[in-house]
Structure 1
Amino acid sequence: MISVLPIAAIVLFLLMSALRVLNEYERGVIFRLGRVIKAKGPGLILLIPVIDKMTRVSLRIVTLDVPHQDVITRDNVSVKVNAVVYFRVVDPVKSIIEVEDFIFATSQLAQTTLRSVCGGVELDDLLAHREEVNQRIQDILDKHTDPWGIKVTTVEVKYIDLPQEMQRAMAKQAEAERERRAKVIAAEGEFQAADKLTQAAKIIAESPQALQLRYLQTLREMSSESKAATVIPVPLDLLRMAMKP
């Protein structure tokens, strides 16, 4: 009886070490005597004690925060840029045997790619065409992480920190642009008003009765105003007739 207990304990220990339970989002990469067998899971996994070893790999999307990077854009503007990268494991075997730490490797690759891509564009493109910059970074990351069994799903540039001098310069530029638009709008208004006045002058020149009606309308408008003195306009034709010898 005493000799049976150690044997039962050893059998129970080996049985417990041979059983593994993997969640729905997990896969287990099985190594048998150092060689990869395959990825198993989810559910109950049976291993050969001492011979088999298993490494868990999560298939869920990983959110990677890329810290601020000092970047000099193509037009020689120094900015700080950070981003966020979303990726997931699509091949558990490659993510284990092709790279030592795929999360750390993806993080370092994302930092260098962010600096190189943002340094190759001008500041205006970085601010106005951020979607294109995001897509370029994603394509480069996805190309380099594909041999690792990693799929980069989304890259978003979160924040662009501009120097105070550049912010003031951009504010002056925006103010000058607004003033230019205001002057253009005012000039277009003057042009349209002059064009309408020219058309009205042609109509009055062709129909003298229109000038008389306009004269009477002006008198009515002036008489309706409550003023101490009333100025009555005199047509230029009457002045010319009076000045003739």
Structure 2
Amino acid sequence: MTTFISIFRPLASRSFVVQDHQTALHFKDGRYVGLLAPGKHRFWTSGHEMKCVDMRAQAILVQGQELLTADQVALKVSALATFQVVDALAMHRATQDVSSALYTDIQLALRQIVAADVAEVFLQQKGDHGTKLLALVAVNAEALGLKVARVDIRDVMLPADLKRSFMSALQQRQEAQAGLEKARAETAALRTLANAAKLMRDNPELLQLRYLQTLQEVGTSAGNTLVLGLTDYGKLTASAPDRL
């Protein structure tokens, strides 16, 4: 779990340094005095204390939680949040263990999100849950002196029997989709043939042109022998020759 702050350091006539990624809370005899900026500081009297706070962006991982969906399916869900301290004094005054407080808030938000949907809907909308989690966590995080940049569902683990059911259903949907696409292609082909037949029926010269085109294609192939009879092209409008 992420460590936010260092322990108190009593100061008595000594110098100390605050790093440029830190801020330090300065106390005198237990009373808050102010923030100490990065740099070197020295106090010549006793009773001074400081508490250093890391102001860099950090991450916290919420390990897999066994949570029930609206249809009572147990899912193991983990989440990852990124955040940083924006108010060191508010963080110090809000709780003794701010990391545990944030961890608990994310746990409760996960429980609320998972319980709101049935398992199938939750899995289908997995990519949208981060926005919902952030909205639930951000308000409490602000009270802790933190700014949460994002919260995302990291992993969702299904029970073995449910995983098999989902895989079977997915395979069936894919097979049904493939069958539907095949039927659509066949329908389109039949529609094209029907349109072509109607054109030839309404325009007999098209059939004659098609007949000549076929002769040309066959004639250009090596090894083919064409036997042409004296044919009345007008009769081609009624029926095409069975053989060449």
**TM-score of the pair, normalised by structure 2:** 0.76
Name whichever of 36-45 and 215-224 sits farther off: 215-224
Deviation at 1:75, TM superposition (A): 3.4
1:112: Cα distance to partner?
1.9
How many percent identity over aligned positions? Answer: 26
Once the two structures are TM-superposed, the CA of residue 132 in structure 1 deviates from its matched residue by 2.3
Q: Does residue 28 of structure 2 align to residue 50 of structure 1?
A: no
Q: Does 1:117 align with 2:152?
A: no
Farther off after superposition, 181-190 or 21-30:
181-190
Q: How many angstroms apart in 2 are the aligned matches of 1:105 and 1:203?
A: 77
Q: CA RMSD in A?
A: 3.1
1:61 aligns with 2:46: no
Unpaired runs of 5+ in structure 2?
A: 1-10, 224-235, 240-244
Q: Is the 8 A contact 1:66 1:82 kept in 2?
A: yes
**Which of 116, 122, 126 is 1:126 aligned to?**
122
SS of equivalent residue, structure 1 residue 141 = helix
Q: Which secondary structure does the structure 1 equivalent of 2:13 belong to?
A: helix
Contact 1:21–1:42 under 8 Å retained in 2: yes
Residue in 2 that maps onto 1:15: 13
Counterpart amino acid of residue 180 in structure 1: A
Q: Report deviation, 1:134.
A: 0.9
The 8 Å contact of residues 12 and 47 in structure 2, kept in 1 or not, is answered as no
Q: 2:210 matched to 1:200?
A: no
Once the two structures are TM-superposed, the CA of residue 209 in structure 1 deviates from its matched residue by 5.1
- 2:149 is aligned with 1:153: yes
Deviation at 1:102, TM superposition (A): 0.9
Q: Over alpha carbons, which structure has the higher Rg?
A: 1
The number of equivalent residue pairs is: 220
Residue ranges of structure 1 left out of the alignment (5+ in a row)? 1-12, 227-234, 239-245
Amino acid in structure 2 at the alignment position of 1:157: I
Give me the whole-angstrom Cα distance separating, in 1, the residues matched to 2:199 and 2:131: 61
Deviations along 1:112-138, one digit per CA (max 9) or x if unpaired, are: 222222222343443343342112112
TM-score, normalised on structure 1? Answer: 0.76
